Each structure stands twice: as structure tokens, then as C-alpha cells.
Amino acid sequence: MDNKDINNIDHDPRFIRGIFNYCDRWCERCAFTSRCRSYVMTKEIEKKSADRDRSNMLFWEGIEDIFEQTNMMITEMAEERGIELDWDESDTNSAGLHNQIDNAINHRLSLDARQYAIKVEAWFGRVTLKIDLAPIEDNKAQEAVEVIRWYQHLIYTKIARAVSGDEDIEDDVIADVAQKEADGSAKIALTGIDRSIGAWGRLRDYISENSDSIMDILFILEQLRRKTEKAFPHARSFIRPGFDTMN
């Protein structure tokens, strides 16, 4: 791709400016590849990209539906078992929400997200998935595994990025930009958590013999979701170009 082509892409109205700044880098599952300049510059648009975008949109809508159902189940079962899902703000570390980059990995949210990733790895290490028993045309179980694996570590990295802001910034403009960047990273983490909850809920339908171990992971995810929402109250309302605007 020569400079002329790049210049044309930069000014092409089809593409959403900055959409690639707030994504999870899973191009194969993205519903906006045909409108992403970064994607186009790294890979030639396929003739059927619009059809694939639509297919992926339907895929994520399905995961979202499962998330809603699973989330209600988590709340009900947590009440039955006396498990506290909400977060007491005093549980966070004394350094506050915005830590220096060197301390971001030791923030309570980062540690919880990393613990989730470790538990997921341990779970897949001891559970034999019988996905091959599902009908050949039904690959929903395998898709659920792909979602879980994709976000397993990404949730941690985005949360660590979100809490790595400098609390000592005195410039209001810079501080505002830093906070917006943190909210953007937190929103990606929350999206990953939501989708992971939906995927675990779907997987639970296929391997009911391990439903208790899946519930344990779902409780961890739900707690992490609530903690992140409380630590970043404006993350959900952060507007990501394309993903939240559809323009």
C-alpha cells in the first residue's frame, strides 16, 4: 500500500476515526472490520466482510442474551449460598484508585483479575471438555471456549492499564484525559467480563457435571464486574467510536 492509498484511507468517510483505540484486538470476531482503518491497512478487505460483520454482530448478541440470563442466576445462587458480590470501598489498597505504573499490578482490582486468569487456566487444566459430543452443526460450546480464552488475560491487562494513571497530575486537562483513558480501558475490561460471563453460562449447559466449578468462576467474575463498576463509575458511559455510536 503506497502513500497515496494511505492518504485516501485516512480521508475515507467509510472508516470510523479512532475506533481501533478502544477495541479488544479480536478482529476475527469484530463487527466493524469493514469500517476500521487499522484493519484495512494490515489486511485487504475481503469481499464478504460486510456479511461477516453482520454474522459477528449476531454472535455477540447471542452471548449478550446468555450474559443476562447467567447474571440473574449468579445473583440468585449467591444469595442462596450467602456469597457477598458487592464491594466495600474500604477493601481497596491505601494507594487509591490511580496508582503509579509500577504499582498498577498490585492494585486490588489487578490482583483479582489476575487471580481469575489463573483459575481459568487451572480449570481448563483439570476438566476434560466433551465438546466433540455436541452435534457437528452446533459449535456453540467451542465458541464459548474461544471467548473465555480470548478475554482470560485481556481483562487483567485492561484493568491494570485502567488503574495505572498518575494521581499526582496537577494539570486539569491532562488529568481529565488520563481519566477518560482509564474509563476507556475499564470499559473494555467490563465488556470482556460481560462476554466471559455469557460464555461460561453457555459452556455450563454443555458440561453440567462441572457446573459447581463453573459457578465458582462465575462468582469471581461477578464480583470483579461489580468492583470495576464501582471503581470506575463512568466506564460504562464511556463512548467508544463505532462500538457505542454506530456512526
Tell me how far apart the alpha carbons of residues 244 and 177 are, in angstroms, rounded to a whole number: 19
Residue ranges covered by each domain of the chain: 3-45, 59-231
* Domain at 59-231, CATH class: mainly alpha
Reading the block at residue 183, the C-alpha cell is 474509563
Per-residue pLDDT of the chain (247 residues; tens, 9 = 90+): 444 444 455 567 888 888 888 888 898 889 998 888 888 777 654 555 666 777 777 777 777 777 777 777 777 777 777 777 775 554 444 444 444 555 677 788 999 999 999 999 998 887 755 554 444 445 778 888 899 999 999 999 999 889 885 454 454 545 566 668 889 999 999 999 999 999 999 888 877 676 788 999 999 999 999 999 999 999 999 988 888 876 5
